[in-house]
Structure formats: C-alpha cells, structure tokens
Structure 1
Amino acid sequence: MLFKKLYTKSLFRICPKILSISSLRYATAPSSYAETVDLAYSSYESTEDETSVRPPVVILHGLLGSKNNWNSMSKAIHKSTGRKVISIDARNHGDSKHSSQHTYLHMAQDVIKLLKKLEISKVSLLGHSMGGRTAMVLSLLSSDLVSSLIVVDISPAKTSPQIFSMVNLFDAMAAVSLRSGIAMSKARKLADEQLKAVIPDINLRNFLITNLIQTNTGSYSWRVNIPALKENFQQNIASFPSSLKGLQYCGPTLFIGGSLSDYIGKNDLPEIQEYFPLAQLQFVDGAGHWVHSQKPEKFLEIACSFLKDK
C-alpha cells in the first residue's frame, strides 16, 4: 500500500459564503490593508498546452524555499497534465521583492496582482506549507479566481510544534559569516560547516544553502529577507489567520499530507471542511513535511490525478 486512505465526507448542500465582521473587512477591501510587491515567477508551457480551455496551475513554495525548488516538479506536472504551470517566488524569497510586511493577506494579494498582470482569470492553486496557507487565504478571499485547490502538508486547523524551531534557523543563517571573493563552492562548504552546529540534518542545511547568493561586489548574503521573516514569524506566519473564520471556498480541494509529518492529521478534516467543505485529505506513506521532494512519484501521481479531473 503506497498511500493511505482518502478521508472525505459527502456534502449535499449549497456552500454559503458566511462572513463575519472581521472577514468582511478583508474580503471587501483587501487592497487597502495589503501593500503588494512584484513577484518573480517561472512559466512552463508549450504550443500544445490545453491552456485555452484549462486554467494554469500556480505553485506556491514554502518558507525559506523558492520557485527553483519546484523546477523538476513543475516540469513533471506540465508534462503530465498538459497545463501551463507558473511557479512563483513569494515576497522576501527568491527573486521577488523584499518588504518589511509578511502576512498571508499580503502574500495572497501579491499573487492576485500577478495574475491580473498576466491577464489570467482562473487558476488551479498548489501550495506547500507557507505557500499552502497563502493558497488557502487567496481561495477564501477571491474564490472566483480559483478553479481548484491543492494544499500540501499544512492545515488551517493546527500548527506543528516543530514550526517554532524555525526561529533557530533564522538565527543560524544570520550568524553565518563568509569573506568576500571566494568561490561559491567554497562559500557553500563554509556555510554548511557553520550551520552544522545548530542544524544536524544535512538535507535541511542543503535546502537552506540554496538561498546563498554572491553580490556584484563579491560578498555573500542570503536572498531571503531573514529580518522580516523573523519579525513576522510568530504572529503572521506560524498560524492561520483567525480573522478568516466564516469564509468558505466551495471548489474542489485536496489536502496532501506526509504520514510522518505532524503538520496535518486526519482529525483535522472536520475543521478543514469548515473552510473548504469539499476538501479531501490524503496521506503519502513514508513522507515527512516535504512530501513532494521525499516521495515525488507518489506526490505527482496524486496531484496530477486530481488536476486532470478538476
């Protein structure tokens, strides 16, 4: 058995959009509360795409990641589904603009701005971790833009205790000191040695080091905005915004979790369905939080099967 049971329940009712006073404020006037930034993105398409009839797939990465982490998976999803795939760098990540503000409302509005710029009226959203919560918020605030939703190993219902150790990663990255002018290979090795004292997991260190860049002057820095992420982490990143209670996205929704991860559990489904009434929940055996990189074939199979139908 390569993946676990699908958790869902039938809902034979019209899905209302119930608005509390606080959620109404966000839903009706988000632009007045969120200053947007321009986002970098990569597009995967061909002349044989079905984009004229099927919405593109928009991929949103997790905290301290980038669109580059999804390069192979983006190509595979495009090849399997025939749909255009757009992989986006979140604000304060990758090649996107930096900002002192970093909330899910801001990130959702950034994506909406990009879709408007690209003249795209409907998309399928696929988001992992922080990107999954961004996708959820966007779906709740602008459901007309979203034809279907895939959320990877994150939940609006709870937060993994592990997530609070992220502050240690910010501090460890900020403490790395590298001299100017050395080769990138040398810089990566030195950064790894300095991170090792705090982060024993070599896979996690390798993931973080993908953010190391060399400037035009030969000095080294992190392309993620560590000060802004650390400042916003506790209040704005670590948990799902409670102000959105009462809103619902009623389109096709799939939550994919890793069986070894505690970021999402089968008991979360009832609370998930308060926001996403049609949500299904599927677990991939042997996968942790990074389901798509730890079990790429199973993840691709599950995600593309859903995208082909939805």
Structure 2
Amino acid sequence: MLSRVFHTRNVFNCYKFIPKPFPLTPSRTAACVANEAETVELAYASYESTSDVENPATPPLIILHGLLGSKNNWNSMSKAIHKKTGRKVISVDARNHGDSRHSSQHTYIHMAHDVMSLLQKLELNKVSVLGHSMGGRTAMVLSLLCSDLISSLVVVDISPIKTSPQIYSMGNLFDALQTVSIRPGIPMSKARKLADEQLKPTISDLNLRNFLITNLIQTNTGAFTWRVNIPALKENFQSHIASFPSNLKGLQFSGPSLFIGGSQSDYIGKDELKDIQEIFPMADLVFIEGAGHWVHSQKPEQFLDVVCKFLQEK
C-alpha cells in the first residue's frame, strides 16, 4: 500500500447552500461552495496500490466515520475494500475529530462542505461515498448538495427520516469524557486504564469505553487530553448533530444508494424505505443479522460482502 495523491482535472457543479430562504442556487465550483461554508482542512488516509490490482476506471471511495470516531477506526475495512474492489479508498477525519482541525461550528452542512473542499484539493471529480452514523448523514447531505460529484452512496445505520432515542443518550458521553482527569507524565497504557476506570461508573459497555478511549492522546508536555473537540460537539449536539437537517427539503439524489442497518439497532427502521426513497429514489435497504449500530466492526465479513457487491454492481 502506498500513500499518494490521485490527480485529475476537476470541475463539478454543486449547490450553494443558503440556510434561508430557498431556493438553492448552483455555484461555479466546489471551492466556491466550500469557502462560503467556512471549511476546515481535513486529515485523511489513502489506501491504494501501484500494482495492476487497482482499477483506475472506478471512482475512489470516500469513507466518513461516526461521532467520536476517526479514520483509524476504518483502517482494516478500508484495506479490505480496496483489496476486494480495486478501488482507491480515502478515509477521512471529520472536523473536531481525529487529526482534522477543530472548529466551534459542527453541522452537517459544514461537514459536507469540508469534504467538498477536500475533493477539490485532491482534484477528484467523481467519487463514491460511504458514511456511518454521523458520517452517513454527512454523506447524504453531500450527495444532495453535490449530486453530480457522487457516483454512488452507502449509508450505514442512520436515517434521514427518524432519530433513534439512543442518539440523545450520546450527549451524556461528552459529560463523562470531560470528567476524566489523569495526571501527566505516566505511560499511555496506564493512562488508558485510569480513563477506563473513571468512565466505567457512567458507561457500563466495555466496547464503548474502549472505543472512546481511542481518542485519548498525550501532548508534548506529557499531559493527557482528548483529541476530539468535546466542547464544540456538546454545544452543537442537540441542534445540529442529533437529527438530519430539516432545511434540505425538496432536494434529491437519484444515483445508486444503499442503506445498511444492523438488525439489532433502531437507528434505521425496516419500514422507512418508502420515505427514504422520497429523497433517494434509487435506494435499497438491507439489514445485517446480529449487528447493532457498529455494523462494520460487529459483522465485518458480512458488511464487506454487502458493500463490495454494491460497489462492483453500481
């Protein structure tokens, strides 16, 4: 695997987002759109090969992680998708997450424009996009604002229609993370153990605690902190993250779309397909048995098969 930038000529039409009033009007380029949305520079990892396995004729796949996640969570899956499909895969850190810049603004509109700006920088004029949870909603917004750019769309365990009650409990995680206090200068292994002990009274799920602790980092001074921007996420959660934007009504993405749900999750309902198709007319909805919200990590083989079959057919 090599990390390099794939260059092409890039001109594509997107919608200029104006919160109020409508209608939306086309802008000249993605750069124009991105500048108006006050974008931040996004960190990313590229999975590609110089061998004959890679298929340059297929659009790259952009992967967008969920809330409190990072591109690192998708490392193994990104490699597997690239190997199985021959597509270049680019896994991205959202603003206020991972190695990307922080901002006080955290909305799906801003996150979609961040991705537009990245694609402009990489000179990519056609991509497929896969997003999980928060990343899934970002991917949906991106496809609605910039449909000509998107070859196909994969949304993992999140809905544009309803909001799971479990989403609102996610807000409690910010408070739990903010209460963690670790003395500086100790080894990272010990710091992680202490963080786990402090989170345990509030968060009983060991897998969730381990997931959150992946965000613990040590600064140059030896102090420990969270790499996610907890204050900004907490401030924007109820009004901008927990639900799908309501002011995109009337827009559609008519390209191939696949919604993947976990059978044990309530983030997307089995009865929602008809309503989803009002926004994404070509959408299909499948459920992976035995999976919860983190479908890709709980049932990775089944998830890989479903995603790659869709990408190879569409």
TM-score by length of 2: 0.90
- Please give the alpha-carbon distance, in whole angstroms, between the structure 1 residues aligned to 2:289 and 2:277: 23
Residue number in structure 2 paired with 1:24: 23
The alpha-carbon deviation at position 33 of structure 1 amounts to 5.0
Instruction: Check conservation: 2:63, 2:89, Cα contact below 8 A.
Output: yes
Residue number in structure 1 paired with 2:43: 40
- Please give the alpha-carbon distance, in whole angstroms, between the structure 2 residues aligned to 1:203 and 1:38: 30
- Please give the alpha-carbon distance, in whole angstroms, between the structure 1 residues aligned to 2:130 and 2:177: 28
The alpha-carbon deviation at position 274 of structure 1 amounts to 1.0
The alpha-carbon deviation at position 278 of structure 1 amounts to 0.5
Letter in 2 for 1:35: E
SS across alignment from 2:271: helix
Residue number in structure 2 paired with 1:141: 145
**Match for residue 104 of structure 2 among 97, 100, 103:** 100
Instruction: Check conservation: 2:48, 2:54, Cα contact below 8 A.
Output: no
- Please give the alpha-carbon distance, in whole angstroms, between the structure 1 residues aligned to 2:253 and 2:24: 17
Residue number in structure 1 paired with 2:284: 280
Pairing 1:181-192 to 2, within 5 Å after superposition: 181-192=185-196
Residue number in structure 1 paired with 2:305: 301
- Please give the alpha-carbon distance, in whole angstroms, between the structure 2 residues aligned to 1:121 and 1:106: 20
SS across alignment from 1:281: strand
- Please give the alpha-carbon distance, in whole angstroms, between the structure 1 residues aligned to 2:21 and 2:270: 29
Pairing 1:126-205 to 2, within 5 Å after superposition: 126-205=130-209
**Count of aligned residue pairs for this structure pair:** 293
Letter in 2 for 1:42: A
SS across alignment from 1:37: coil
- Please give the alpha-carbon distance, in whole angstroms, between the structure 2 residues aligned to 1:68 and 1:53: 27
Gaps of 5+ in 1: 1-16
Instruction: Check conservation: 1:22, 1:243, Cα contact below 8 A.
Output: no
- Please give the alpha-carbon distance, in whole angstroms, between the structure 2 residues aligned to 1:173 and 1:192: 10
The alpha-carbon deviation at position 162 of structure 1 amounts to 0.5
Gaps of 5+ in 2: 1-14
Q: 1:187–1:296: structure 2 CA closer, same or farther, 3 Å change rule? A: same
Letter in 2 for 1:269: L
Residue number in structure 1 paired with 2:114: 110
Task: Tell me, yes or no, if structure 1 residue 261 matches structure 2 residue 265.
Answer: yes
Pairing 1:232-243 to 2, within 5 Å after superposition: 232-243=236-247
Superposed CA deviations along residues 102-154 of structure 1, whole A, max 9, x for unmatched, are: 00000000000000100110000000000000000000000011000000000
Q: 1:116–1:58: structure 2 CA closer, same or farther, 3 Å change rule? A: same
Superposed CA deviations along residues 213-268 of structure 1, whole A, max 9, x for unmatched, are: 00000000000000000000000000000101100000000000000000001211
Residue number in structure 1 paired with 2:252: 248
Instruction: Check conservation: 1:122, 1:146, Cα contact below 8 A.
Output: yes
SS across alignment from 2:170: helix
- Please give the alpha-carbon distance, in whole angstroms, between the structure 1 residues aligned to 2:24 and 2:150: 20
- Please give the alpha-carbon distance, in whole angstroms, between the structure 2 residues aligned to 1:278 and 1:25: 23
Letter in 2 for 1:229: L
The alpha-carbon deviation at position 25 of structure 1 amounts to 3.5
Instruction: Check conservation: 2:130, 2:153, Cα contact below 8 A.
Output: yes
- Please give the alpha-carbon distance, in whole angstroms, between the structure 2 residues aligned to 1:149 and 1:66: 20
Superposed CA deviations along residues 179-221 of structure 1, whole A, max 9, x for unmatched, are: 0000000000000000001000000000000000000000000
Superposed CA deviations along residues 155-183 of structure 1, whole A, max 9, x for unmatched, are: 10000000111111000001100000000
TM-score by length of 1: 0.91
Instruction: Check conservation: 1:23, 1:246, Cα contact below 8 A.
Output: no
The alpha-carbon deviation at position 24 of structure 1 amounts to 2.8
Q: CA RMSD in A?
A: 1.7
